Amino acid sequence: MDILDRDAIAAMIPHAGEMCLLEAITAHDARCITARATSHRAPDNPLRRDDCLPVEAGIEYAAQAMAVHGGLAAGEGPPRRGFVAVINRVEWQCQRLDDLDAELLIHAEALQSMADSRNYAFSLSCNDRTLLEGEAMVVLEALEAD
């Protein structure tokens, strides 16, 4: 059962239209989030280049899952905008995403949460095969003073 659909996701992230890549959030808690996506198969996916959606585009899928996780963690308060500052330990097991027939599963886990940043481990998989994994540091915008 999906927890959030595409419309709810689009309301939580700064990306609009086809740039909202996630289809649904299927699970989340204070530490982790799991999403699914089918937009990798769309011929008009905005991340396609030269008729190909390279595996590196999966980092954006993971970043959107992290953004939703941050929004859900904000609870009743307004979500803080975040910026991916560092990507490291990235490994991939394929060259492209657009030739995969099944949906993508995106998983992100907050490894460390501080007042102004979060470190996440992320992975993309399809049919139980890991396609891409790595770590990201997300820097959060400053809180406005009262």
- Full 3-state SS string of the chain: CCCEEHHHHHHHCCCCHHHCCCCEEEEECCCEEEEEECHHHCCCCCCCECCECEHHHHHHHHHHHHHHHHHHHCCCCCCCCEEEEEEEEEEECCCECCCCCCCEEEEEEEEEECCCEEEEEEEEEECCEEEEEEEEEEEECCCCCC
User: Would you say residue 52 lies in a domain?
Assistant: yes
Residue 100's pLDDT band, with cuts at 50, 70 and 90, is very high
User: Would you say residue 146 lies in a domain?
Assistant: no
User: Would you say residue 145 lies in a domain?
Assistant: no
Q: How many domains does the chain have?
A: 1
pLDDT tens for each residue of 15-40? 888 999 999 999 999 999 999 999 99
User: Would you say residue 85 lies in a domain?
Assistant: yes
Read off the pTM: 0.93
128, pLDDT greater than 80? yes
Residue 111 maps to which CATH number? 3.10.129.10
For residue 96, the enclosing domain spans 4-140
